[in-house]
Amino acid sequence: MRALTWHGHHDVRVDTVPDPEIINPRDAIIKVTATAICGSDLHLYDGVIPGMMPGDILGHEFMGEVVETGPKSTLEKGQKVVVPFTISCGSCYFCQKQQYSACDNSNPVDAQDLSEPLYGHAMSALFGYSHLTGGYAGGQSEYVRVPFSDVGPIVVPDHVEDEKVLFLSDILPTGWMAAENADIEPGDTVAVWGCGPVGLFAIQSALLMGAKQVIGIDHHPHRLELARSLGAKIVDFSRTHVGEALMEMSGGIGPDAVIDAVGMEAHGFAPDNVIEVVKQKVGVAADRGHALREALITCRKGGRVSVPGVYGGFLDKFPLGAMMQKGLQLRTGQTHVQKYTKPLLEKILNGEIDTTFLISHRLPLEQGPEGYKNFHDNQNEWTKVVLRPE
């Protein structure tokens, strides 16, 4: 089959690779009908996530048709399914608490040995990502093996267009959980750093949860316009002092809740970010934390901080003093996707949530490398890329 594979810094290719096979009784094989490039795929593209190997199949946002099942899979051939990017067993201590992204059983033991020394506990498994998270083949391919297929995939109606439900695999639940982690109350002011796909869905979710005003912060004009179209107010950080703007827009107390949807590759020319870009390029630091620092500093006293943006290492100059002295609450983590897919599918089907507005480009899988390059280099115009195997 054909698959989009990682070969190093800014080097992804479409290769011919072996077809996936059923390995365990709970497996299923999915024929991919639609897949997308995620902002966190760009961390792999930039080479800032450790544990990748040449030839790894990329992609953790995908959906398709069930074409083969193991004897203990609950799926049936021919069903149309969306697959969460988190791989979860459904029965361990964490899965029983619906903390699916903390599953103890999906990451193979040899891969657990890679992440446990770094984080204190082994990470769960993800599709199409680092070998720290299991090294599972991803869905930017013609076919993909789905472990624990009785737990993860959600069956969607055949008549629903792929693009309306594809993002149930990651960015819609991630944006929703980001807003949920911010404990939004009616009347709140919520500031969201980053108007990429996750930030836009966090904005949409925060408004649905009753926020009085949501403020999107970015420097790409088109992405800011998308945020405005959802009902957000906007701040262009390249033209405006973000802290002063947020104080003015929140009546002088600061936002009630802040959401960092940027993560480890913050943009801009703030002094701390310029230094961290250099440190990241020479390999002495993994994370650029300007957006997170700014979010913590600008959040009101007693406010809430939600971090869906991906971080991987140790952050310098973390404003712990501001966090403690202001009494901030912080929540973060990979998304417990399986917890959210069913209720969010209902919101899509009844028209409460539109997931298609951010798609800017649709390409065949064979043009995947072009999609990566443009999604990376032209972020104002390339807001979301959907790939289709042919």
pLDDT of residue 266: 65
pLDDT of residue 390: 79
Task: Give pLDDT tens digits along the chain (390 positions).
Answer: 999 999 999 999 999 999 999 999 999 999 999 999 999 999 999 988 889 999 999 999 999 999 999 999 999 999 999 999 999 999 999 999 999 999 999 998 877 777 888 888 989 999 999 999 999 999 999 999 999 999 999 999 999 999 999 999 999 999 999 999 999 999 999 999 999 999 999 999 999 999 999 999 999 999 999 999 999 999 999 999 999 999 999 999 999 999 999 987 667 667 676 666 666 666 656 677 899 999 999 999 999 999 999 887 788 888 999 999 999 999 999 999 999 999 999 999 999 999 999 999 999 999 999 999 999 999 999 999 999 997
> DSSP code of 238?
T
Closest CA to 333 of 180, 200, 203, 217: 180
Contacts of the segment 215-219: beta carbons below 8 A, 24+ positions apart:
215/189, 215/190, 215/191, 215/246, 215/249, 215/255, 216/192, 217/191, 217/192, 217/193, 217/242, 218/193, 218/194, 219/267, 219/268
pLDDT of residue 279: 65
Beta strands in the chain (DSSP E): 2-8, 11-16, 28-37, 56-57, 61-69, 80-83, 86-87, 125-126, 143-146, 154-155, 189-193, 213-218, 233-236, 257-260, 304-307, 329-332, 361-364, 385-388
pLDDT of residue 283: 65
3-state secondary structure 195-219: CCHHHHHHHHHHHHCCCCEEEEEEC
Type of residue found at 30: I
pLDDT of residue 200: 97
Q: Alpha carbon of 16 to those of 4, 125, 142, 176, 237: distances in Å? A: 9, 24, 10, 36, 43
